[in-house]
Amino acid sequence: MGKLFTLTYPTAAVLLAIRQGHRYGFDVMDATGLPDGTVYPILRRLERRGVLEGAWEEAEKARSENRPPRRYYRLTPLGEASMEEVLQRFPVLVKVFGEPGTETA
Amino acid sequence: MTLPGLRVIEVAARIVPSRRRDEWRREWEGETAYAWQRMNRRGPPPVLSRARLRLRVLTCIIDALLEKKEEVRMSGFPNDLRYAVRGLMRSPGFALVAILTLALGIGANTAVFTLVDGVLIRPLPFEEPGQLLSIRHSGREGRDALPMSDGLYLLYQREVSSLESIALYRSTEMNMVAGDAPERVQGQVVTPSFFDVLRAQPVMGRSFLPEESQPGAEEVTILSDGLWKRAFGSDPAILGKTVDLNGRLTRIVGVMPPAFGYPNRDPQFWVPYTVDPAQAYLASFRAAGIARMAPGASVEGVLGELQSLIRRLDELFPESGDPAFLASVGLRARVQPLNEVLVGDVSTILWVLLGTVGFVLLIACANVANLLLVRAETRQRELALRLAMGAGRMEIIRFFMSESVVLAACGGALGAMSSSWAIGVSRLFIPVGFPRMAEVGVDLRVLAFTGLISLACAVFFGLFPLVRYGTRELASTLKDGGGWGATGSRARHRLRNALVVVQVAMALVLLVGAGLMFRSFQALRALDPGYDVDGVVTARVSVPSAEIQDPAETAEFWRQLRLRLEGQTGVVSVGMAQRAPLNGAIAFTTVSLADQPRGPDDQDIFAHWMSVNPGYLETLRIGIREGRALAAGDGAAGTRAVVVSESFARHWWPDSSPIGRQVGGDPENGEDWWEIVGVAADVHHLSLEDAPEEMIYYPPTIGPTESPGSVRTMDVLIRTAGSPIQFVPVLRRELQALNPRIPISNPRTMQEVLDLAMAPTSFTMTMLGAASGIALLLGLVGIYGVISYVVSQRTREIGVRMAMGATSPAVRRMVVQQGLALVVAGVILGLAGAGALSSVMASLLFGVSAMDPVTYGGVSLALIAVSTMASWIPALRAAGVDPSRALRED
Q: Is the pLDDT assigned to residue B867 strictly greater than 80?
A: yes
With bands split at pLDDT 50, 70 and 90, how would you rate the model's confidence at B316?
A: confident
In this complex, do B33 and A68 lie within 8 Å of one another by their Cβ atoms? yes
For the ranges B62-66, B146-150, B548-552, B586-590, the lowest mean pLDDT is seen at B586-590
What is residue B470's predicted lDDT score, i.e. its pLDDT?
56
Longest dimension (CA), chain B: 134
With a cut of 80, say whether residue B24 has pLDDT above it. Answer: yes
Q: Is residue B783 within a helix (H) or strand (E), and if so which, with residue range?
A: helix B750-793
Partners of A24 on chain B (C-beta within 8 Å) are 31, 34
Rounded to the nearest integer, the mean pLDDT of chain B is 84
Chain B partners within 8 Å of A48 (Cβ): 70
Residue B208's nearest CA partner among B271, B260, B150, B269 is: B271
Three-state SS at B625: strand
Which pLDDT band holds residue B758 (cuts at 50, 70, 90)? confident
Quick count: other Cβ atoms within 10 Å of Cβ B792? 12
Are B31 and A24 within 8 A, CB to CB? yes
pLDDT attached to residue B135: 93
Taking the CA atoms of residue B230, residue B235, residue B238 and residue B244 in that order, the dihedral angle to the nearest 10 degrees is -40
Q: Which of A29, A36, A71 lies nearest to residue B27, judging by beta carbons?
A: A71
Inter-CA distances, B399 with B302, B373, B452, B470, B595, Å = 60, 13, 21, 12, 87
pLDDT digits (tens, 9 = 90+) for B507-521: 888 889 888 888 888
- Output the pLDDT for position B667: 62
Q: Look up residue B724 and give its DSSP letter.
A: G
pLDDT of residue B668: 64
Please give the pLDDT value at position B26.
92
pLDDT tops 60 at residue B703 = no
Taking the whole predicted model, whether its pTM rises above 0.90 is answered as no
Instruction: Pick B443 or B77 by higher pLDDT.
Output: B443
Distance, CA of B256 to CA of B266 (rounded, Å)? 13
Architecture in CATH of A9-96: Orthogonal Bundle (1.10)
Model pLDDT, residue B81: 78
Give B825 or B877, the one with higher predicted confidence.
Answer: B825
Task: Identify which has the larger pLDDT, B785 or B98.
Answer: B98
Amino acid, single-letter form, for residue B482: G
Asked if B62's CB is within 8 angstroms of A37's CB, the reply is yes
Report the percentage of chain B scoring pLDDT > 90. Answer: 24
Tell me B511's DSSP state: H
- Alpha carbon B667 to its chain's center: 47
Distance, in angstroms, between A68 CA and closest chain B CA?
5
Measured in degrees and rounded to the nearest 5, phi and psi for residue B40 equal -90, 5
Chain A residues inside the 8 Å CB shell of B56: 26, 29, 36
Q: Which of B20, B27, B67, B73 to mutate to test the interface with A (most CBs of A within 10 A)?
A: B27
One-letter identity of residue B833 = G
pLDDT of B206:
93
Chain A environment of B23 (Cβ under 8 Å):
71
Packing angle of the helix pair A25-32, A9-19 (nearest 10 deg):
120
In B636-751, which ranges are E strands? Answer: 641-645, 662-664, 674-680, 695-698, 713-720, 744-749
Could you tell me which residue, B245 or B441, shows the higher pLDDT? B245
Please say if the pLDDT value at position B120 is more than 80: yes
Average pLDDT over residues B229-254: 90
Q: How many CB atoms lie within 10 A of CB B374?
A: 18
pLDDT in tens, B355-382: 888 888 888 888 888 888 877 777 777 7
Q: In Å, how far is A73's CA from the nearest CA of chain B?
A: 11
Contact between B31 and A25 using a beta-carbon 8 Å cutoff: yes
Neighbours of B454 (CB within 10 A): 25
B652-689 confidence digits (pLDDT tens)? 999 999 999 988 866 666 667 888 999 999 999 888 88
Which residues are registered as beta bridge partners of B642? B676
Quote the pLDDT of residue B798: 83
**Helix-helix angle A36-49:B60-71, to 10 degrees:** 30
Mean of pLDDT values over A5-30: 87
pLDDT reported for residue B305: 93
The DSSP secondary structure of B438-456, one letter per residue, reads GG----HHHHHHHHHHHHH
Q: Which residues of B125-159 are buried (b: 16+ CB within 10 A; e: fewer)?
A: bbeebebbbbbbbbbeeeeeebbbbbbbbbbbbee
Taking the C-alpha atoms of residue B810 and residue B796, their distance in angstroms, rounded to an integer, is 16
> Coil, helix or strand for B594?
coil
Residue of B nearest to A72 (CA): B27
Q: What is the pLDDT of residue B122?
A: 82
ipTM: 0.91
Sort out which chain A residues have CB atoms less than 8 A from B62's CB and list them: 37, 40-41
Q: Which residues pair with B186 in a beta bridge?
A: B173
Q: Find the angle CA(B702)-CA(B703)-CA(B708) to the nearest 5 degrees.
A: 50
Give the mean pLDDT of chain A. 82
Interchain CB distance below 8 Å, B59 and A40: yes
Name the minimum distance, in Å, from the CA of A10 to any CA of chain B: 16
Please determine, for residue B851, whether its predicted confidence score (pLDDT) is greater than 70: yes
pLDDT at B390: 63
Task: Domain ranges for chain A, please list them.
Answer: 9-96
Tens digits of per-residue pLDDT, B256-290?
Answer: 998 898 888 889 999 999 988 888 888 778 889 99
Contacts of B443 (CB under 8 A, 6+ apart): none
DSSP 8-state assignment for residue B72: I
pLDDT tens per residue across span B179-202? 667 788 889 999 999 999 999 999
Cα–Cα dist B615/B643, whole Å = 13
- Closest-CA residue in chain B for A43? B63
Percent of chain B with pLDDT over 70: 90
Q: What is the pLDDT of residue B630?
A: 87
Neighbours of B530 (CB within 10 A): 20
- For an interface test with B, the pick among A40, A66, A72 (most B C-beta atoms closer than 10 Å) comes out as A40
To the nearest 10 degrees (0 to 180), the angle between helices B486-526 and B444-468 is 140
The reply to whether residue A40 touches residue B55, judged by beta carbons under 8 angstroms, is no
pLDDT tier for residue B491 given thresholds of 50, 70 and 90: low
Residues A68, B60: C-beta atoms closer than 8 Å: no
User: In this structure, are residues B749 and B537 in contact, taking their beta carbons and an 8 Å threshold?
Assistant: yes
SS3 state at B485: coil
pLDDT value at position B759?
81
How many angstroms separate the first and last alpha carbons of chain B? Answer: 57
- pLDDT, position B73: 64
- Residue B699 scores a pLDDT above 50: yes
Look at residue B670 in the predicted model and tell me its pLDDT: 65
| pLDDT, tens only, B77-106 | 677 777 788 888 888 888 888 898 889 888
Beta strand segments in B727-783, E: 744-749
Cα distance from B31 to chain A (closest Cα, Å)? 6
Amino acid making up residue B376: A
Give the closest-approach CA distance of B392 to chain A in angstroms: 22
Interhelix angle A77-89/A9-19, rounded to 10 degrees, is 120
Give pLDDT, residue B2: 72
